[in-house]
Structure 1
Amino acid sequence: MPALADLTPMQAFAAIPLAAICCDQTFATEEAEVIRQQLLSRAAYRAMEPYAFGMLISGLLKRLREESWQELIAAAVPQLNLDQQETAFALVCQLIHCDRKVAAVEQEFLLALADLMSLEPSRTRQILEVCEVMHRDCL
């Protein structure tokens, strides 16, 4: 795995949601399923051999243990263009809300990520609101 500053866009895109689900020190089953499904639904990850995909995730998890989630996302965000940032932010929102429990550290993660991204604040609020609505237990 290259140094954090040398992340490829593919590594950076995967690093952001992975950092999100690890920031609260828990790894819920729902989160693991969603991140795997969401990454593998994208052509770049789907084209990887399963071993290579596993190594990508393992390498990012290793970096997460060595560095803070704050350092990882700070290195990852600049590697992504605006569309990739927007999709990564939406994916993070989905992951954080999928277990219907948003911890304080997860809220901190969302705010830190939104601050690092080039997205308009109104756009990040819109994405957050949609994810909250989609994942509320209303029945």
Structure 2
Amino acid sequence: MTDAEAFASIALAAVACDGSLGREEAHALRRSLEFRSPYRDRTEQEMGSLFDRLLVTLREQGVDQLVNEALPALTPVQQETALAVAVQLTHADREVSDAESRFLKQLCERLTLPEGRAVLVMEAITALHRDCLSG
């Protein structure tokens, strides 16, 4: 698996971990990748092919296997950014389900980041999504 496939795999796993892939989540997934290299240089057809391949693994082997295959292909810096994107994507529909929370917790435990770094990343992205202003 290439690093581009692996990074997209983590993002896909984040939106699929609760057993559904809603329209808002699918759009958020696309937006989270489209400005990043190397995805920004790919055609719609190439991106479709990438996700078709990843969806086969997801459907046949599940979210855990998709993540298992992806993580070794990512450097710690790439893992950190993939985690940030995953947290961002779990907030795409403005609700983080129990399944999404479990997924993020398990992902943090599997990353090869310095102690406490994954939690800091999760907390920072969660703070960005906090609805803290009164109406």
Which of these residues, 100, 106, 130, is aligned with residue 136 of structure 1?
130
CA-atom RMSD in angstroms: 1.3
User: What is the TM-score with the length of structure 1 in the denominator?
Assistant: 0.89
| Secondary structure in structure 2 of the residue aligned to 1:68 | helix
Aligned to 2:73: 79
Aligned to 1:51: 45
Aligned to 1:115: 109
More divergent stretch after superposition (64-73 vs 93-102): 93-102
Q: Kindly provide the CA deviation profile for residues 72-102 of structure 1, in whole angstroms up to 9, marking residues without a partner as x.
A: 1011001001111111000001011232211
> What one-letter code is carried by the residue in structure 2 that aligns with 1:61?
L
Aligned equivalents of 2:59, 2:91: Cα separation in 1: 23
Q: State the aligned residue count.
A: 133
| Secondary structure in structure 2 of the residue aligned to 1:11 | helix
Aligned to 1:93: 87
Answer yes or no: is 1:28 the counterpart of 2:22: yes
- Structure 1: gaps spanning 5 or more residues: 1-6
Aligned equivalents of 1:28, 1:120: Cα separation in 2: 33
Q: What is the percent sequence identity of the aligned residues?
A: 40
Aligned to 1:68: 62
Does structure 1 conserve the Cα–Cα contact (< 8 Å) formed by 2:79 and 2:111? Answer: yes
